Amino acid sequence: MRLRCPLCGERDRREFTYKGAAVALDRPATEAWSADWDDYLHNRANPAGETRDLWQHAAGCGAWLVVTRDTVTHSIADVRLARGEGTA
Amino acid sequence: MSPCAGLLPLRSGTVRLAEVDPGRITSLMPGPGQAAALDRALSETHGLGWPAPGQAILSQRGGVVWTGLDQAMLMGPAPDPALARHAALTDQSDAWAVADLSGGDGPEVLARLVPVDLRPQAFAEGATARTLLGHMTASITRTGPETLRIMVFRSMARTLVHDLHAAMDAVAARRGLDAGGPPR
Amino acid sequence: MRFSGFRVLREGLTGNRGWAPHWRDPEPKSDYDVVIVGGGGHGLATAFYLAKEHGITNVAVLEKGYLGGGNVGRNTTIVRANYFLPGNSEFYSHSLKLWEGMEEELNFNVMHSQRGLINLFHSDGQRDAFARRGNAMVNQGDDAILLDREGVRKLLPYLDFENTRFPIYGGLYHPRGGTARHDAVAWGYARGADARGVDLIQNCEVTGIDVEQGRVTGVQTTRGAIRAKKVAIVVAGRSSQVAAMAGLRLPIESHVLQAFVTEGLKPVIDHVVSFGMGHFYISQSDKGGLVFGGDLDFYASYAARGNLPMVEHVMEAGMTLMPMIGKAKVLRSWGGIMDMTPDGSPIIDRAPVAGLYLNCGWCYGGFKAVPGSGFSFAHLIATDRHHPPAARYRLDRFATGRGLMDEEGTGAQHNLH
Ligand SMILES: Cc1cc2nc3c(=O)[nH]c(=O)nc-3n(C[C@H](O)[C@H](O)[C@H](O)COP(=O)(O)OP(=O)(O)OC[C@H]3O[C@@H](n4cnc5c(N)ncnc54)[C@H](O)[C@@H]3O)c2cc1C
Ligand SMILES: [Zn+2]
C-alpha cells in the first residue's frame, strides 16, 4: 500500500503511522459526558469498504493526513492534510 | 570531532561517500501566517528564500532545505537576527551527520535503502526528501547532477556509513558481474 | 461415532471404510430457540455447551463459509493462562482448565500439547513486570516460574543471548502453556454439538437481524429467514457489520494479523517462545513447520492477507532472536481479521436489544479462549446471568470507565493494543 502525501508525493506505507478513524477530528461540542463522547472515543463504524482515517507521515514531513480508502481492497481514494479538517 | 570522523571518505565501484562540513544548521519554523514574510527576510538577508515542500534553495555557502511540514534547515551561515521576527530558530549544528554520495550509481545504491525514486529524472537538482534510510530517518537532497546530500541524526553516523558501505559494495559487485559476464 | 484405540486399529485393518461424516448437513428449520451467528471456535463451543450444560438443543449455528474457515483455522495456536488483571486472570484460568479436559470431553484428539511457554525479558524493568505477572498467575492458581538467563539458556540454547539491542535477561516460564491443533478444536466442538442435536448450517450468511419492539425475533440469511427467540453474534472480525444489522455501533476496529510457517524441519524448538520486545513469537508444529508471527499490520483492514512491511518486520525480529532461523524457508503466510477493542480485552454480554447477545473483541488472543468463551457465553444465553469468570467482559465498561482491562497499561484507546 502506498499513500500520496500532499507534501511529499507518493510514499511507501512504512513511512506512515496509523492513528485510527477520522472521527477523532470531530470532538463533541459539549464538555459534559454524553453518548456522543462514547461514540467519539470508543464506538466505531468500522466499515468493510470505504473509510476515512488518520495517518501521520511520521518518517516524512510529519504532517497528519486524512486518508479515504477501502479497507477491503486497500485502494486509496484521497489523501489530504488534516490541518483545517473537522472541528478539533 | 566531526560525526563521521575516522569513518569517511569511502569509495566503492563508481561511488564515493564523503563527509560534508555543513557549517551552521538552523531549523526554521515560520510563525502563524509568516511564511511570506520569512521568505522575504531570507531573500534580503541571505539571498535565499523559503522553499516549497520537497525543494531546497541551494547556494554556494549552503542553502535552505525543506525538512517537513512548516520546517526547513538553514545550512551554512549563521542566521541573520532579523529572521527571528518571522520564525522560531533552533541551532542544530551538532545534531546531524552530513555526507555526500557522489557518482552515477548513487541512486542505485540508495535504491537499496530508501523507498523513494532518487534518479535524476524523478529527483532533479534542488529536490529534497524527508524519508527513511534503512531504519533511520533521513533528509536527502540532490545538490548536483551526480551528488546526493544525506543527513541523518548524528548518533546514527556509524550505522549510516555501515549501511551505505554495504549497499555500495553490493552495487559495485553487481556492476563487476555485469562487466565480466557474456557480451550483451 | 466414537474414537477409540480399538476402532482405529479395526478401521486400519479394513481399509478405513467404516468412518462416517462427523456431523450432519441439515437444511435450516424455520424456527430455533437460539441462533448462533458464526461457526468459528467460539460459536461452535457456545453451541456445544448450550446443549451439554443447559440442555438447550434447538439451536442452529449459521456459518457464511465453512466451519473453521475463519480465525479459528488461521491462528498460531498458542494456549496459555498468563494474564495479569482481575477479569482476565480468572477467565483464562478457567479456559485453560477446560482445555485440559477437552480431549476427553469431546472424545477428539485436538493435539493439545502443554510444552511450556517462555516470555523473554531484556531489561530490569521488564523482569520486574514479569515477576509481578508471575505472582499474579500463581495467586490465580496457575503456574509460573521466573527464569534467569542461564535458566532460559538451558531450555532455549539456540537464542542470541548477547544481542546488543535485546540481550536476554531471562524469561517467565509457564509450563502449562502450549499449543493445539486449531481446526481440530473447531471440528471437535462441531461434532459434539451436532451429536447433541445442534444444526450446523454452512454456506449460510446472515444478512439481517429482525428486531420488533426492541426484541430480536430472528435473522435473514442467504438461505432464507429464520426465526429465533435468541440470537448470539460470534463473528470475530466481522462483529461490527453483523451488530450494525441490529443498529449497534461497537467499540471495535478490525485489523489484520499475519502468520507464517516454514517448510517442515527436524524438531528444534521444543516450547513456545515469545519475544515481546520484537513482537515475535514462535513454536514448531508436530509436522515440523516453524509457526511464527508478529504484531498487527496496524491499520483497519478486512483484507485477510496483510502487507509486506510487516512481513519484513517479523523476519527481522526472528533473525534478531535466533539467527539460525535465516536458514529456514518460509512456505506460506496468511492473515486473519481481528476484532480489536480499545482496552484489548473481549466482550461477552447482552446487547442493548432484548434477546441479542454479543461475543466479540478477542483481538489476537481468542484461540486459547475458545472453551472458556463458549462455556461462559452459553451460560449467559441460557440463564441471562453472567458466568462469574467472564462477568467483567461488559460492553458498557468503555462508556462508564469501570472495569477496563488494559493488560498493556497503555490506556483504553483504539490502536494501542
Ligand atoms: C494469524 C493469527 C494468529 C493468532 N494467534 C493466536 C494464538 O496464538 N493464540 C490465541 O489465543 N489466539 C490467536 N489468534 C486469535 C484467534 O484466532 C481469534 O481470536 C479467534 O479464533 C476468534 O474467534 P472464532 O474462532 O470464533 O473466530 P472465527 O473462526 O473467525 O469465526 C467467526 C466466523 O463467523 C463467520 N461469519 C462472519 N460473518 C458472518 C455472517 N454475516 N453470517 C454468518 N457467519 C459469519 C465467519 O465466516 C467465521 O467463520 C490468532 C489470530 C490470527 C489471525
Ligand atoms: Zn509527507
Residue C283, in any domain of the structure: yes
Clarify whether residues C206 and C133 are in a common domain: no
Residues C265 and C334 in one domain: yes
Same domain, C229 and C323: no
Phi, psi angles (nearest 5°) of residue C316: -65, -40
Confidence of residue B177 (pLDDT cuts 50, 70, 90): low
B118 located within any domain:
yes
Residues B99 and B166 in one domain: yes
Query: The domain spanning residue B84 has which CATH number?
Result: 3.30.70
Residue C45 has pLDDT above 90, yes or no: yes
Q: Is the CB of C177 under 6 A from ligand 1?
A: no
C100 belongs to a structural domain: no
- Three-state secondary-structure class, residue B39: helix
Residue B45 has pLDDT above 80, yes or no: yes
Q: Residue C318: give its domain's CATH number.
A: 3.30.9.10
C188: in domain? yes
The size of chain C, in residues, is 417
Asked whether residue C373 is domain-assigned, the answer is yes
Q: Are residues C165 and C302 in the same domain?
A: yes
Residue C49 lies in a domain: yes
- Partners of C289 in beta bridges: C264
Q: What is the CA radius of gyration of chain B?
A: 17
Segment B83-90 mean pLDDT: 98
The one-letter amino acid at C67: L
Residue C416, domain member (yes or no): no
Is residue B61 in a domain? yes
Q: What's the pLDDT score for residue C1?
A: 67
CA of C236 from ligand 1 middle (Å) equals 5
Ligand 1 pocket, residue C238 CB under 6 Å? yes
Chains that touch A (3 or more CB pairs under 8 A): B, C
Q: What is the mean pLDDT of residues C339-360?
A: 97
3-class secondary structure, C37:
strand
Residues B155 and B108 in one domain: yes
Domain boundary among B93, B118, B140: B93
In chain B, what residues touch A65 (CB-CB under 8 Å)?
none
For residues B78 and B167, membership in a common domain is answered with no
Q: Is C202 exposed, middle or buried (0-12, 13-18, 19+ CB in 10 A)?
A: middle
The count of structural domains within chain B is 2
d(CA C245, CA B165): 58
Interval between CA B25 and ligand 2 midpoint (Å): 22
Task: Classify residue C111 by burial, with Cβ atoms within 10 Å: 0-12, 13-18, 19+.
Answer: middle
- Tell me the per-residue pLDDT of C83-100, one tens digit each, with 9 for 90 and over: 999 999 999 999 999 999
Q: Regarding the domain delimited by A1-24+47-88, which CATH topology (the fold level of the hierarchy) does it fall under?
A: Folate-binding fold (3.30.2270)
Q: What is the CATH number of the domain that holds C384?
A: 3.50.50.60
Q: Would the pLDDT of C112 be above 80?
A: yes
* Alpha carbon of C242: minimum distance to chain A alpha carbons (Å): 11
Q: Is residue B181 part of a domain?
A: no
Query: Is the same domain home to C126 and C232?
Result: no
pLDDT in tens, B91-111: 999 999 999 999 999 999 999
Q: Is the CB of C42 under 6 A from ligand 1?
A: yes
In a domain, B182, yes or no: no
Domain end residue (candidates: B93, B113, B148): B93
Structural domain boundaries, residue C318: 113-177+254-340
Is B2 contained in some domain?
no
Nearest chain A alpha carbon to B71: A61
Indicate if C247 and C361 belong to the same structural domain. yes
Q: Which residues form the domain of B123?
A: 10-21+94-174
Looking at chain A, how many residues does it have? 88
pTM, two decimal places: 0.94
Average pLDDT, chain B: 94
Residue count of chain B, please give it. Answer: 184
C301 and C369 both lie in a single domain? no
Ligand 1 centroid–CA C290 distance in Å is: 21
| Three cell numbers, residue B11 | 569509495
